[in-house]
Amino acid sequence: MRSCWIALVVMLVSTPALARFRVKAPRPGYSDFRQAVRASKAVEAKVPLRLEASSRPRVVTKVRDGIIHEKATVVANVPFKDFMRRMDPADWSRNLPQRWGGQIVRLKDRQGPRGRTVLQQERMVLGIPALDMTKNTVVKVGQDRATVRWQVTHSDRSLPTLGHRTVLMDNGWIEFARTQDNKVRITTRSAHKVSTVPSAVLSKIAPRLTEKVLAASLRSYFKQTVKRYKAIAEGTRRAR
């Protein structure tokens, strides 16, 4: 199985056309973006997770009703303005770890009296085993924080997912916020229901074990995620 995944990675790397993963879902309207905001806010309301931020990445997961909830956080030791100079929050998905490819379709980017608002549709293929998803995303950028809220509305059956629809649900948010001592607190909070080819097979034999395996995988992934954003904020890694 491992050799199969390695061969698949090599094939995608050597064939750039396959790694583009263009958006195929219908274009969303304003009501779809409002729904994305509501769905992302409901995540924390339904399953509150507490986690204190520190300079080391921290993450917690909880499984409820077959849905995996995660919260991850870290503090970057740089002023908020330095982070904003190093990475556009609207490009957050370009900088996710284990990104096979994807596309961002920016439908609105407007600066108003309360800050900047970006509405975009994003397809991304992430992880090993791969998850292929298309999200409606709302980005709000203010003086002291930038918040990204999303809802997955579509999951393509693609080559990296071995023709399997992998993301059944994914709602959440990520926030980059100025702390009282002028550092950057990075926090992700999301809820997931996913099904890779290996987990679909395992779930028929041991469903509870499958949940634990998937939760551990997401816990590792989001720890990598906040760690990567911290590195970008502190200038030890360049943003894409």
Summarised one tens digit per residue, pLDDT across range 45-74 is 989 999 999 999 999 999 999 999 999 999
pTM exceeds cut of 0.85: yes
Summarised one tens digit per residue, pLDDT across range 102-145 is 999 999 999 999 899 999 999 999 998 899 999 999 999 999 99
Q: Find the mean pLDDT for residues 16-34.
A: 85
Q: Which of 117, 28, 97, 93 minimizes the C-alpha distance to 57?
A: 97
Is the dihedral angle over the CA atoms 156, 25, 40, 38 positive or is it negative? Answer: negative
The CATH code of domain 20-233 reads 3.30.530.20
Predicted confidence at residue 148, as pLDDT, reads 98
Residue 233: is it exposed, middle or buried by C-beta count within 10 angstroms (0-12/13-18/19+)? Answer: buried
Q: What residue ranges do the domains of the chain occupy?
A: 20-233
| 151 membership: H or E segment, kind and range | strand 145-154
